[in-house]
Amino acid sequence: MTPTTETTVGIGGAAESTDMVLNIGPQHPSTHGVLRLRIVLDGERIVSAEPVIGYMHRGAEKLFEARDYRQIIVLANRHDWLSAFSNELGVVIAVERMLGMEVPTRAVWTRTLLAELNRVLNHLMFLGSYPLELGGITPVFYAFREREVLQNVMEEVSGGRMHYMFNRVGGLKEDVPAGWATRARGAVAAVRSRMDVFDDLVLGNEIFRGRTRGVGALSPEAVHAYGVSGPIARASGVDFDLRRDEPYLAYGELQDTLKVVTRSDGDCLARFECLLGQTHNALDLADACLDRLAELPPGPVNQRLPKVLKAPEGHTYAWTENPLGINGYYLVSKGEKTPYRLKLRSASYNNIQALAELLPGTLVSDMVAILGSLFFVVGDIDK
């Protein structure tokens, strides 16, 4: 009898066991950024998952300490490149609170309008790219068409397509151009009239529903444990939205229009439905802001600031309902022209941690469906 040799083949650190360690990434999946997942497999089933972050880390929080209060806005609007206007808002609101500054009414309503348009831009990206990650290429073309309509409006008012730099401490850079409100209203109407593409083409697709229904269910307890927020949390039945529960800007006067979309299943399909429902409501909020701006008399959109802007000594915390969830800004000042400390709590950082809870026990084939349904931007994780 010919002697045989038995060889055990393993991968990575699991060579001595039957499990296989698989690195997903680091690569750049679509627009979300460079993320790495270290997953341990038992056959086709995931045993454990560890998100490995830091590949896009730029040290924004330390750079805040070396820039004055006007300059930090350019850093703040870049970590979540799909929510640039909303990122700027949190910083300027925190500084204005430190200064005890009151923002002109016209600026408040314009900020609210642009924040909701930015919310639609953010959501359209994920409404298009998520089906793409599941094999459906058509919706992304529709999403980019609608995004282009709104991008033109945002570019006209601010001069920027992604990084708007339109907020200023005390208000806005300038008032909107003549006739812009009419063009903005037309853009909102055009996008709303074509949103049934996502209602019918995506949600009505049996393959999409088969890949997402009952997959990656996140419990409300896990939402609270990991600090998950935004549409992902509301898809698990956690009914919390800062625009309603702690209103800022003009949201206190928009409660009749604001509808917080929730679901109870907590799965991939519920997360997509929450994102889609929130997009519809953001378009309604934009129309309500345009109506109010039309009623306001002409007036200033910013406050006159000193040549050297210094915040008084102290600290404050401002948080906003960004498109992807709650962004928090903890500002500490020593009375200088630069922040002593500015800590950023970004939505994606907390949301992506839930992967360690969601992926174990699921099949590898469901991993991309779960990963894409968390609607994250890696720059928002790494800061």
18 and 8 Cβ atoms separated by less than 8 Å: no
- Give per-residue pLDDT as tens, 251-280: 999 999 999 999 999 999 999 999 999 999
**pLDDT, the chain, mean:** 89
DSSP sequence for 53-89: --TT---HHHHHTTS-TTTHHHHHTSSSTTSHHHHHH
pLDDT (tens digit, 9 = 90+) per residue, 91-133?
999 999 999 999 999 999 999 999 999 999 999 999 998 998 8
**Total-model pTM:** 0.90
Per-residue pLDDT of 313-333, as tens digits, reads 999 999 999 999 999 999 999
- Exposure b/e, 54-70, CB count within 10 A at least 16 = b: ebbeeebbeebeebebe
Q: What is the pLDDT of residue 322?
A: 94
Predicted pLDDT at 226: 93
Give the integer Cα–Cα distance in Å for 193 and 362.
38
Of 133, 169, 119, nearest in space to 280 by CA = 119
Q: In angstroms, rounded to a whole number, what is the distance separating the alpha carbons of residues 285 and 193?
A: 15
Give 330's strand partners.
Answer: 317, 343
CA–CA dist 53, 57 (Å, integer): 8
Determine the pLDDT at residue 18: 62
Q: Which residue has the tokens 């679509």?
A: 30
pLDDT tens for residues 214-257?
A: 998 999 999 999 999 999 999 999 999 999 999 999 999 999 99
Please give the average per-residue pLDDT across 153-157, as a whole number: 94
